[in-house]
Structure 1
Amino acid sequence: MTDASGQSFLVVGASGALGSRIARGLADAGATVSAHGRSDESLARLDLDGAHRLTGDLRQPALPQQLVDAATQRHGRLDGVVYAAGVVAFGPAARLDDDTLDDLTLLDFLAPVRLVRAALGVLGPGGVVAALTGVPAERPFPNMAAYGATKAALSSYLTAVRVESRRSKVRVLDLRPPHTETGLATRAIAGDPPSMPTGLEPDAVAARCVAAILGTDTEVASGDFG
């Protein structure tokens, strides 16, 4: 793995199954890490000595900027930002209520967009912005219409920002892992998950994500996770 000594990263959603592993992988590579989670309690389970712990509700518009500012101030610099948070909902599109739609949009699209916007204000040449969009960004699934739409929208946004960021030499990375055994489906904010085949192991998916973050990739498609 590439040596990340001297670099600092902000991982948003670091209390989750993939976010925690990505944060740990970056730290193992030598980076200093600011780790965001929903609460102190959720971050307490993060096995990461010395991590700068940050909390907050990503539905609040000001939080992404506050996280970037806090991480930059803590470490004196910021070399990368990773968005690994999000929620999922299941069920027919006709039955999707407004509260669920709002949360999907806020957490799976608007929060990462706001984070990217904030990060671009501080990242210098060689910096990286990464977000997990997932396989729904590549193809839509029934009973996941709104969830998939937010992921596709985020992927489209990242593609455009990647072109915009060429001059500043900030790399924009779209990570699209296939179904992974993170337990996210069992914590859906609405509906019941469909029957799905066994997903990939989180350790392997996170390791591929870390390699991409520290490498030169600009996207890792679902088929590239093995």
Structure 2
Amino acid sequence: MEMEGARVLVVGATGVIGGAIAEECAARGATVLPAGRDPDRLAERARSLGAEAAFAFDAYDLDTCAGLAARAAEVAGGLDAVVVAIGTVAFAPAADLGEEMVEHLFTVNALAPMAVLRGALPVVDEGGAVAAISGVLVDRPQPGMADYGAAKAALSAWLTAVRTEQRRRRVAVLDARLPHLETGFADRAAVGTPPAMPPPADLDTVVRGIVDALAEGAALVLPDGKGGVRAEARAR
């Protein structure tokens, strides 16, 4: 997919990673339509991008999530890509989490991204791409993050199955299993205090890698062990 002139919906564009992805896509000549929860930050992001429209949503409103791509396509005259960069984390042993918190983790990290992309699949043009951020813990589940990891693993499994379903339409389905990044995400945990984290990867390098993978129609983005990421054309 050629980024120059592409129409890209970025859901979670008010966050650190989603905002950086939106700005990188715009810098490469894409028309970016941002979506986010915070209205003030969303308006600011839209101004920064020169976007003709922005879309507010709440992860708990799955019907609105499912309708975001159609709304964006109506404004832009179609869509070439949809990127979902939303999430929340909790740090606690599984036995200490209440069911309400578990539901929260699965809604924000799995059900809402799935709803956005489910609504996007009939809308994204043939040869386009959809993407979501899961995380490296899909491959390496961590104690104290069991339910968060399970929610991200559910999203990753969903993306893997949808990738095969979309092969005929040549719509790439990208699973970005990112390494630890210093974005303040862990410090905003819904529950608990983050454990000692590994040295963070470089945000700008990772974001460039994600957008490269989106343009290439890659299946996976994985840590490269050097502070960045690498793309794989086929899922493992």
Determine the C-alpha separation between the residues in 1 that align with 2:191 and 2:84: 22
Structure-to-structure mapping, 1:118-197, within 5 angstroms: 118-197=119-198
Report the Cα distance in structure 2 between the residues aligned to 1:105 and 1:146, rounded to whole angstroms. 8
Distance 2:2 2:121 in 1: 23
Q: Residues of 1 paired with 2:37 and 2:44: CA distance?
A: 12
Q: TM-score, normalised by structure 2?
A: 0.91
**Equivalent position of 2:49 in the other structure:** 49
Which residue in 2 is equivalent to 1:102? 103
What amino acid does structure 1 have at the position aligned with 2:128?
A: G
1:71 is matched with which residue? 72
Counterpart amino acid of residue 195 in structure 1:
A
2:224 & 2:111 partners in 1: Cα distance?
A: 26
In structure 1, C-alpha distance between the alignment counterparts of 2:50 and 2:151, rounded to whole Å: 34
Structure with greater contact order relative to length (CA < 8 Å, sep ≥ 6):
1
The amino acid across from 2:223 in the alignment is: S
RMSD: 1.5
Task: Give the strand-richer structure, 1 or 2.
Answer: 2
Give the CA deviation at 1:163.
Answer: 0.7
1:19 counterpart residue number? 18
Do 1:124 and 1:169's aligned partners in 2 also have CA atoms closer than 8 Å? no
Q: How far apart are residue 49 of structure 1 and its match?
A: 3.2
Question: Unpaired segments of 5 or more residues in structure 2?
Answer: 230-236
Aligned residues: 225
CA drift at 1:45: 4.3
Q: What is the aligned partner in structure 2 of residue 204 from structure 1?
A: 205
CA distance in 2, matches of 1:191, 1:63: 30
d(CA) in 2 for partners of 1:144 and 1:49?
Answer: 35
Q: CA separation in 1, counterparts of 2:61 and 2:223?
A: 30
Whether the 8 Å contact between 2:177 and 2:221 is mirrored in structure 1 is yes
Give the superposition deviation at 1:17.
0.9
Aligned residue for 1:10, secondary structure, equals strand
TM-score by length of 1: 0.94
* Counterpart code for 1:203: D
